[in-house]
């Protein structure tokens, strides 16, 4: 860990002032940042501990949704009764992630900004355009089992590891920020980026910009949802493929659909076309399979991760079936229905 | 260490671990937790290349960091003995042991090439990131698959290596056999990953003596290693290792941090601690990757006519690490023709090392998948196939077993599991979306005993201490020692204290091979028997002794008293009263228990198990749950059923990891293991475990060792992975010969 300055402001204005220089990182739960600093991958010169900022509340919004403060711990959020009842997809995705201990420490803002688990990003002895821009991508034609099948670039094939973000993508949440250029409201779809030729930039946040909250719109798809996560063991592993599926049904006909994928791209993956294709059709396997194919259009394996393409297709179908049948995947009972 | 309150405590009682409370309250201290004023911290810097040499190291930026005392490299390290035999340890494989900072040569990825010593661990780690190293890279060869063509029979082997012994003419018999299977089986490399990191704290005393707290499976091994290298005399160093947070074989040999911490402590004349990071565990030893080729030929009824069992594992260029891979298949089943061959291929890696059930975990599990294939080729129930081929003898050596209750394991396990209800056809059981499969396999491990000494000391207050230089890496050795001593002396357990993990204690080998219960147990028993005799004689020789003109058979030892069989109410004396009356402040004896060498060679000594597994596979998604495991074990006498069960359970978890999850993935272009943390190297978590049922069948064995115990530390691994893989076949009809069976292989 390199030497850094440390501040612990109590007000947002103060935090932003502290963050105005370069090389700044906000410290929330620290479960990702501190690991990366120890490994000499993140090298901030200034760490601003935001845990004293007043960002720990969950509040109702005027439009019937919820505003979730950036510092709300993942476990508090998952077990909040309003979230459990109205946005169970979010609760379920959170509980599919990490471990109970990590979820206690991890925060809403930090979760969105956690960095990829690409092996090469984590190993200083290897080139990585995300860690060291211009050095090359060792993952490509290396060990690609966990890598992207969608939206990758020649410069980076990493995936975003967050489960929560996948549910937020399906729920069309918005990220509320404040920073040097004032307050902003960023749709979750525009929050994370594809790697392109700047894989070192994960999101559209500006340097020194602070996430203050995440807003959920009123529609939570509480009747028909499922978060299905497939991984290398039954708990405590990152997704090989995950699916956040949400449906609004009217007489077994799909009135509205959302499908977001995790573990397959540099950001939660959605395609409105795939969702539109379901609308007006009966909630059944044929439609689900057609939607899956559209959603996976353009997918490309790297070799060892080719399996993710059929796996994702089947997982999409299964998650939609679970959603339609109102038998969502349980985060605790590991049997998949 | 205090003896906790346990009442019924002799051999066979399911008592709680005597050190349990210390562990769960955090009072038990591990090697890197012993503090010392002005302790320095070393951080080992790991090579970023896999093979080549260091052309230059510039430590100036690191040295300029306030708080950094020194940077040790091959260029400036203190002189070391030149002869490599000084670096050999009790468990070393033949060859040239790796020594950190030896020269400019880089031999494997992650090799420690510098040690930065600073006032805090954080400063040391940071400063190490400022080292500037120029490497000259050379091409490396790490891929076993590519190295197969140069694999050769090991030309030098280590202690414990069982040379595979072929018999009959298996190739011909195979060609002639009515039923045949032929497959290539593969296991990925695995790393031990005990919870506790590798750490050593060296406390340097003013007179130069060292007290060394080391994470090790053998305090004496660490002591001897350091003494030989640095020329210490008997009492100049003491190695202590009272608690070990798991090791699984990784701490059998002295690891990099021990050597580095001592080197720095001597050089700087200060106390020093070195802790290796989790990532650096991938630069330590590992269970080698293995290719195994099995051909089985049988009569139409499944009786074996030919076993061809060949395997290759990798070793390093430094040392020849060998495993017993193919011998198990040669021993386990009745068959006149067996062609067994084991070869190794050198790769540019660290030397592999023993990992829980070394050799058997690999060789038995892969072979038992082949046996399942034979069952299907012959159309014989897999359990019935094993029974038809049941071997009364060790088929490879043609000798009897001291005992072998494997038949009873098959019966008890099958009964508990409900095997009789199994439908032979694959894909015949289904519930909802899940295919259900039932598989089984045989497990086998060795029942070894090694020479071990124990000192027993009875104090004036009637408390007993039993002490030996063994380790307790978790199998319950402290508790076992207390139980054996309680049984032999008749003292209640709460008055007995066990001491271990200290190089000044009587000789014991490293803790490994599941031999500790037999070895240490026998030593404790022997020492306690001698103590008992001496105590009795002391009492008998007292003036007006209640035991005058008796023999030792005329008394018994009960609850801290010597009691005469005739007139027990009046003729009895407390232990402490005897010592007092004899004017003896303490009674101390030391005994060494050795295995009988001749009988060791004349008879085979093994523990056995029959493992049954149920898996449920969501075929569409490739997701699997191992919903039931029954393991029936024959392991001689069970000293503590509760702790023995934990050991088998831990072994089963290892087997499950081997079957489904564990693999160290190397990028062979770089020669580096890439999934080097616990987020990406998957070991089973609680959610992966459902019902696990462990049965110990009765197995009386008076020959194996005086206690009749066989050890249970490793027996849970062999057989478990195969039972699961075979259940996967039964569920899905897919035969997967390449472990672990991950989602992608099931799709
Ligand atoms: C072993 C392990 C397993 C895991 N498994 C999973 C899993 O299965 N699924 C999953 O989704 N996650 C998993 N995680 C990741 C975990 O969810 C994240 O580490 C956690 O959510 C990060 O939150 P934090 O508050 O600790 O962030 P921190 O580590 O504090 O910060 C992360 C980043 O966010 C920035 N940041 C934090 N808050 C703000 C803010 N308000 N505004 C601007 N920037 C901010 C920080 O500067 C830093 O760059 C796992 C982690 C570990 C260690």
Q: Is A47 in the pocket of ligand 1 (CB under 6 A)?
A: no
CA gap B349, A113 in Å, rounded: 36
Q: Is A211 in the pocket of ligand 1 (CB under 6 A)?
A: yes
Within this chain, do residues B248 and B337 fall inside the same structural domain, yes or no? no
Domain assignment present for residue B721? The answer is: yes
Write down the pLDDT at residue B4: 39
If you write DSSP's letter for every residue of B630-688 in order, what string do you get?
Answer: EEEEE-BS-S-HHHHHHHHHHHHHHHHHHHHT----EETTTTEE---STTTS----GGG
> Does B670 reach chain A within 8 Å, measured CB to CB?
yes
| pLDDT bucket at B7, cuts 50 / 70 / 90 | very low
Closest CA to B361 of B683, B661, B717, B663: B717
Q: Residue B502 above 70 pLDDT?
A: yes
| Whether pLDDT at B5 is above 60 | no
Model confidence at B234: pLDDT above 90: no
From residue A135, alpha-carbon distances to A199, A200, B316, B592, B674 in Å are 12, 11, 31, 62, 18
Give the per-residue pLDDT at B8.
66
Q: How many domains does chain B have?
A: 3
- Residue A233 has its nearest CB partner, among B661, B669, B744, at B661
Looking at chain B, the whole-number percentage of residues with pLDDT higher than 90 is 97
Does A143 contact B616 at a Cβ distance shorter than 8 Å?
A: no
Query: What number is the average pLDDT over the span B246-263?
Result: 97
For residue B276, name the pLDDT band (cuts at 50, 70, 90). very high
Domain containing B481 equals 450-594
A190 secondary structure, DSSP code = G
Cα separation, A73 vs A88, in Å, equals 16
Q: Count CA atoms closer than 13 A to B512's CA, side-chain side.
A: 23
Q: Rounded CA gap, B221 and B226, in Å?
A: 9
Using a pLDDT cut of 90, give the percent of chain A over it. Answer: 97
**Shared-domain flag, residues B184 and B224:** no
Query: Of A2, A311, A334, which is closest to B622 when you measure between CB atoms?
Result: A311
Q: Among all residues of chain B, which has the CA nearest to that of A240?
A: B743
Q: For residue B2, tell me if it sits in a domain.
A: no
| CB of A311 sitting under 6 A from ligand 1 | no
- pLDDT value at residue B555: 97
B23, part of any domain: no
Asked if residue A19 has its Cβ within 6 Å of ligand 1, the reply is: no
What's the token pair of residue B156? Answer: 């030098």
* B7 occurs within a structural domain: no
Do B176 and B253 sit in the same domain of this protein?
no
Q: Are residues B68 and B179 both part of a single domain?
A: no
Residue B320 falls inside a structural domain: yes
- Overall average pLDDT of the B29-58 stretch: 97
ipTM: 0.97
pLDDT digits (tens, 9 = 90+) for B296-324: 999 999 999 999 999 999 999 999 999 99
Statement to judge: residues B134 and B273 lie in one domain: yes
Whether residue B621 and residue A124 make contact (CB cut-off 8 A), yes or no, is no
Q: What percent of chain A has pLDDT over 70?
A: 100
pLDDT value at residue B3: 39
Mean pLDDT of chain A: 97
* Residue B84 pLDDT exceeds 90: no
Q: What is the average per-residue pLDDT within B369-395?
A: 98
Q: Which of B253, B277, B301 is the last residue of a domain?
A: B277
Q: Active site residue: B289, B561, B590, B714, which one?
A: B714
**What is the reported pLDDT for B9?**
72
pLDDT confidence band for B435 (50 / 70 / 90): very high
Does the beta-carbon distance from B667 to A334 stay under 8 Å? no
Q: pLDDT-based confidence at B1, cuts 50/70/90?
A: very low
Q: Where are the domains of chain A?
A: 1-52, 225-324
Considering the domain architecture, whether residues B134 and B241 belong to the same structural domain is answered as: yes
Confidence of residue B257 (pLDDT cuts 50, 70, 90): very high
DSSP B71-106: EEETTTSPP--S-GGGG--TTPPSB----TTSSSEE
Q: For B704-731, how does the pLDDT look when each residue is reduced to its tens digit (9 = 90+)?
A: 999 999 999 999 999 999 999 999 999 9
Does residue B621 sit at the A interface (CB-CB below 8 Å)?
yes
What is the DSSP annotation of A228-239? EEE-SSSSSS--
- B464 with B439, same domain: the answer is no
Best B110, B677, B743 residue to mutate vs chain A (most A CBs within 10 Å):
B743
CATH of the domain at B653: 3.30.365.10
For B645-676, the pLDDT digits (tens) are: 999 999 999 999 999 999 999 999 999 999 99
Structure confidence by residue, pLDDT tens digits, B510-527: 999 999 999 999 999 999
Among residues B535, B560, B594, the one where a domain terminates is B594
| Residues B93, B663: Cα–Cα separation, whole Å | 24
Q: Is the CB of A29 under 6 A from ligand 1?
A: yes
Q: Do the domain assignments include residue B21?
A: no
Determine, yes or no, domain membership for B4: no
Within chain A, strands assigned E span: 5-7, 24-27, 46-49, 58-60, 66-69, 174-179, 182-187, 210-216, 225-230, 241-250, 253-262
Using a cut of 0.90, tell me whether the model's pTM lies above it: yes
Owner of token pair 């601690």? B273
| Exposed / middle / buried, residue B60 (Cβ in 10 Å: 0-12, 13-18, 19+) | exposed
Residues B324 and B463 in one domain: no
* Percent of chain B topping pLDDT 70: 99
Neighbours of B103 (CB within 10 A): 11
Q: Let me know whether B235 and B135 are in one domain.
A: yes
* pLDDT for B161: 94
Give the end of a domain, one of B277, B302, B330: B277
A21 pLDDT tier (thresholds 50, 70, 90): confident
Asked if residue A202 has pLDDT above 50, the reply is: yes
Q: How far apart are the C-alpha atoms of B635 and B647, rounded to whole Å?
A: 12
Mean pLDDT computed over every residue of chain B: 96
Q: Which residue of A has its CA nearest to B278?
A: A39
Instruction: Give me the mean pLDDT over the B635-640 stretch.
Output: 96
User: Is B19 inside any structural domain?
Assistant: no
| Residue B714 among the catalytic residues | yes
Same domain, B612 and B493: no
pLDDT of residue B6: 38
State whether B40 and B89 are in the same domain: yes
Residue B600's pLDDT is 76
pLDDT tens per residue, range A190-199: 999 999 999 9
At the second CATH level, the architecture of A1-52 is 2-Layer Sandwich (3.30)
Does residue B265 share a domain with residue B131?
A: yes
Tell me the helices (H) and strands (E) count for chain A, helix number first: 11, 11
Domain A225-324 class?
Answer: alpha beta
Burial B618-654 (b: 16+ CB within 10 A, else e): bbbbbbbbbbbbbbbbbbbbbbbeebbbbbbbbbbbb
């Amino acid at each position: 860990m390199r030497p850094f300055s440390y501040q612990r402001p109590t007000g947002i204005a103060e935090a932003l002032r502290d963050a105005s220089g370069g090389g700044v990182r906000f410290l929330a739960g620290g479960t990702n940042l501190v690991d990366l600093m120890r490994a000499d991958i993140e090298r901030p010169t200034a760490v601003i501990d935001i845990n004293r900022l007043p960002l720990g509340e969950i509040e109702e919004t005027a439009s019937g949704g919820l505003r979730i403060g950036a510092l709300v711990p993942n476990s508090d959020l998952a077990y909040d009764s309003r979230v459990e009842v109205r946005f169970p997809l979010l609760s379920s995705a959170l509980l599919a992630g990490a471990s109970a201990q990590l979820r206690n420490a991890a925060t809403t803002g930090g979760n969105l900004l956690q960095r990829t688990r690409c092996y090469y990003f984590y190993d200083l002895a290897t080139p990585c355009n995300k860690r060291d821009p211009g050095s090359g991508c060792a993952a490509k034609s290396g060990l690609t089992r966990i890598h992207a099948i969608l939206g990758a670039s020649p410069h980076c094939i990493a995936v975003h590891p967050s489960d929560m973000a996948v549910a937020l993508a399906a729920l069309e949440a918005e990220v509320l920020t404040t920073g040097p250029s004032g307050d902003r409201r960023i749709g979750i779809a525009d929050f994370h980026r594809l790697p392109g030729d700047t894989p070192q930039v994960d999101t559209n946040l500006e340097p020194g910009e602070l996430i203050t909250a995440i807003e959920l719109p009123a529609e939570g798809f509480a009747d028909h949802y499922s978060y299905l996560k497939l991984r290398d063991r039954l708990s405590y592993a990152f997704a090989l493929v995950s699916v956040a599926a949400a449906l609004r049904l009217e007489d077994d006909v799909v009135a509205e659909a959302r499908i977001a994928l995790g573990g397959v791209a540099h950001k939660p993956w959605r395609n409105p076309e795939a969702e539109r294709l379901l609308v007006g059709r009966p909630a059944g396997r044929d439609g689900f399979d057609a939607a899956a194919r559209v959603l996976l259009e353009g997918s490309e394996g790297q070799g060892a991760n080719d399996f993710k393409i059929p796996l994702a297709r089947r997982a999409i179908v299964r998650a939609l079936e679970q959603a339609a049948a109102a038998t969502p995947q349980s985060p605790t009972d590991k049997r998949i229905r | 260490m205090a003896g906790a309150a346990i009442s019924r405590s002799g051999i066979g009682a399911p008592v709680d671990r005597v050190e349990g409370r210390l562990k769960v309250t955090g009072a038990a201290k591990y090697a890197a937790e012993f503090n010392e004023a002005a302790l320095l911290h070393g951080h080992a810097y790991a090579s970023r290349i896999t093979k080549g040499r260091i052309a230059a190291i510039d430590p100036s930026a690191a040295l300029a960091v306030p708080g950094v005392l020194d940077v040790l490299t091959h260029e400036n390290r203190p002189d070391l003995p030149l002869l490599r035999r000084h670096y050999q340890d009790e468990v070393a494989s033949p060859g040239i042991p790796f020594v950190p900072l030896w020269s400019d040569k880089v031999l494997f990825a992650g090799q420690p090439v510098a040690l930065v010593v600073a006032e805090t661990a954080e400063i040391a780690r940071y400063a190490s990131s400022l080292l500037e190293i120029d490497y000259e890279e050379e091409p490396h060869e790490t891929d076993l698959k590519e190295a197969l063509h140069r694999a050769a029979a090991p030309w030098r082997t280590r202690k414990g290596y069982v040379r595979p012994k072929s018999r009959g003419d298996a190739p011909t018999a195979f060609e002639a056999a009515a039923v045949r299977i032929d497959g290539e089986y593969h296991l990925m490399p695995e790393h031990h990953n005990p919870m506790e990191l590798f750490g050593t704290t060296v406390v340097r005393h003013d007179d130069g003596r060292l007290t060394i707290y080391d994470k090790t499976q053998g305090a004496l091994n660490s002591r001897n290693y350091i003494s030989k290298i640095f020329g210490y005399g008997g009492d100049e160093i003491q190695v202590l290792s009272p608690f070990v947070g798991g090791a699984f074989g990784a701490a059998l040999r002295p690891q990099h941090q021990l050597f580095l911490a001592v080197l720095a402590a001597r050089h700087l004349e200060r106390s020093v601690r070195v802790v290796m990071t989790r990532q650096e565990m991938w630069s330590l030893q590992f269970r080698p990757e293995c290719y195994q080729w099995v051909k089985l030929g049988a009569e139409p009824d499944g009786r074996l006519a030919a076993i061809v069992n060949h395997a290759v594992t990798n070793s390093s260029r430094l040392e020849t690490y060998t495993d017993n891979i193919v011998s198990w298949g040669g021993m386990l089943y009745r068959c006149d023709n067996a062609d067994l061959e084991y070869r190794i291929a050198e790769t540019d890696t660290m030397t592999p090392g023993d990992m829980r059930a070394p050799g058997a975990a690999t060789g038995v599990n892969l072979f038992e998948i082949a046996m399942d294939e034979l069952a299907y080729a012959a159309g014989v129930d897999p359990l019935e196939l094993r029974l038809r081929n049941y071997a009364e003898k060790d088929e490879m050596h043609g000798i009897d077993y001291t005992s072998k209750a494997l038949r009873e394991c098959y019966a008890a396990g099958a009964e508990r599991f409900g095997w009789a209800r199994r439908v032979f056809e694959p894909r015949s059981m289904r519930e909802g979306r899940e295919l259900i499969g039932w598989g089984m396999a045989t497990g086998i491990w060795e029942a070894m005993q090694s020479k071990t000494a124990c000192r027993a000391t009875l104090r004036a207050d009637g408390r007993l201490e039993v002490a030996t230089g063994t380790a307790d890496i978790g199998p319950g050795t402290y508790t076992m020692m207390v139980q054996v001593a309680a049984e032999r002396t008749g003292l209640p357990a709460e008055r007995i204290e066990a001491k271990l993990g200290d190089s000044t204690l009587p000789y014991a080998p490293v803790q490994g091979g599941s031999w500790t219960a037999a070895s240490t147990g026998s030593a404790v028993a022997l020492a306690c028997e001698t103590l008992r005799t001496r105590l009795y004689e002391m009492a008998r020789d007292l003036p007006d002794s209640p035991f005058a003109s008796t023999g030792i058979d005329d008394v018994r030892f009960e609850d801290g008293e010597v009691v005469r069989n005739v007139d027990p109410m009046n003729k009895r004396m407390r232990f402490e009263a005897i010592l007092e009356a004899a004017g003896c402040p303490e009674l101390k004896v030391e005994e060494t228990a050795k295995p009988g060498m001749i009988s060791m060679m004349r008879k085979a000594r093994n523990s056995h198990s029959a493992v049954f597994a149920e898996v449920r596979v969501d075929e569409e998604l490739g997701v699997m749950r191992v919903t039931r495991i029954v393991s029936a074990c024959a392991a001689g006498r069970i000293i503590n059923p509760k702790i023995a069960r934990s050991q088998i359970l831990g072994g089963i978890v290892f087997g499950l990891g081997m079957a489904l999850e564990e693999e160290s993935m190397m990028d062979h272009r770089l020669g580096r293991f890439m999934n080097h943390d616990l987020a990406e190297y998957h070991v089973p978590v609680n959610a992966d475990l459902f019902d696990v049922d462990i049965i110990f069948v009765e197995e009386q064995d008076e020959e194996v060792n005086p206690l009749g115990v066989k050890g249970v530390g490793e027996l849970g691994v062999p057989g478990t992975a195969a039972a699961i893989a075979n259940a996967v076949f039964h569920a899905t009809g897919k035969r997967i010969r390449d472990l672990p069976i991950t989602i992608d292989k099931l799709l």
